[in-house]
């Protein structure tokens, strides 16, 4: 019997028997069972460790906190959407202020130069956070395109504490990614950073140099 025939015989013998699917054990990527406060603490510790800035606020005073952040950081032109509740609330407070609001719901080819050279900060909502890694996750839309969080020197993100999950696996399971995988989900774990061959970190080379998280509790 040739080697080829022996291989085919073994395959036939295995096919004749009952095939059992392996049992998947996801315990290594889930099962943290943290409390809400523990999730907040884990998230803040990890995102702060990579130069992310977390500012605590509430659902009622966050726009005032936003205005203070913009003033303290010298932001003169803020890019933001229109349709999302976060953008609408921000516009109500900032419309009469000194910060110029830049609309993003337009073809990027028509304002690419403005976006890259004349916008000081971008404001986005978030769909949640991941406590284990200190990450934000965003699902960009036409109203909040991904460039809004990837291009301006400062990215300001609004996160609700109740939307922080333990792990990425928990996010995927709770939001049904197996049935409806987002085509363009973004995971953000701090400002943009890179390192040269000597491992010297530089921030803001390929994206925002600052990440500010307004954590609503």
Average pLDDT for the chain = 90
Q: What is the pLDDT of residues 101-151, one digit of tens each?
A: 999 988 888 899 999 999 999 999 999 999 999 999 999 999 999 999 999
Measured distance between the N- and C-terminal CA atoms of the chain, rounded to whole angstroms: 72
Cα(190)–Cα(183) distance, integer angstroms: 22
Cα(187)–Cα(171) distance, integer angstroms: 11
Cα(122)–Cα(80) distance, integer angstroms: 6
Which tokens belong to 178?
A: 């197996």
Is 60 exceeded by the pLDDT of residue 16? no
State pTM to two decimals.
0.85
Task: Please report the pLDDT score of residue 58 as a whole number.
Answer: 98
Q: What is the pLDDT of residues 76-112, one digit of tens each?
A: 999 999 999 999 999 999 998 899 999 998 888 889 9
Q: What is the pLDDT of residues 149-172, one digit of tens each?
A: 999 999 999 999 999 999 999 999
8 A C-beta contact, residue 135 and residue 159: no
Query: What is the pLDDT averaged over residues 52-70?
Result: 97
Cα(7)–Cα(21) distance, integer angstroms: 22
Highest mean pLDDT among 139-143, 178-182, 191-195: 139-143
Please, which contacts does 36-40 make with residues 24 or more away whose CB atoms are closer than 8 Å?
36/161, 36/162, 36/164, 38/131, 39/129, 39/131, 39/161, 39/164, 39/165, 39/166, 40/131, 40/161, 40/164, 40/215, 40/217
Alpha-helical regions (H) of 59-199: 62-72, 85-94, 112-118, 147-150, 168-174
Cα(122)–Cα(149) distance, integer angstroms: 6
Q: In this predicted model, which residue has the larger pLDDT, 54 or 22? A: 54
Task: Please report the pLDDT score of residue 3 as a whole number.
Answer: 85
Is 70 exceeded by the pLDDT of residue 18? no
8 A C-beta contact, residue 30 and residue 174: no
User: Beta partners for 211?
Assistant: 52, 155
Task: Please report the pLDDT score of residue 204 as a whole number.
Answer: 78
């Amino acid at each position: 019997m040739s080697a080829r025939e022996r291989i085919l015989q073994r395959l036939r013998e295995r096919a004749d028997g009952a095939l059992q699917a392996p049992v998947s054990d996801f315990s290594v990527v889930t099962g943290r069972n943290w409390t809400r406060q523990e999730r907040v603490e884990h998230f803040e510790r990890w995102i702060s460790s990579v130069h992310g800035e977390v500012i605590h606020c509430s659902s009622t005073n966050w726009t005032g906190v936003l205005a203070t952040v913009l003033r303290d950081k010298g932001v003169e032109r803020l890019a933001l959407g229109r349709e999302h509740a976060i953008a609408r609330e921000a516009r109500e407070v900032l419309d009469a202020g000194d910060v110029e609001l830049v609309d993003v719901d337009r073809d990027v080819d028509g304002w690419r130069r403005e976006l890259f050279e004349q916008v000081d900060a971008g404001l986005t909502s978030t769909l949640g956070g991941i406590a284990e890694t200190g990450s934000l996750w965003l699902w960009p839309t036409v109203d909040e395109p991904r460039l809004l969080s990837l291009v301006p020197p400062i990215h300001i993100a609004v996160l609700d504490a109740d939307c922080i999950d333990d792990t990425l696996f928990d996010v995927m399971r709770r939001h049904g990614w197996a049935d409806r995988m987002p085509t363009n989900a973004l995971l953000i774990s701090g400002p943009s950073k890179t390192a040269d061959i000597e491992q010297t970190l530089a921030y803001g080379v390929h994206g925002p140099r600052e990440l500010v998280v307004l954590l609503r509790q």
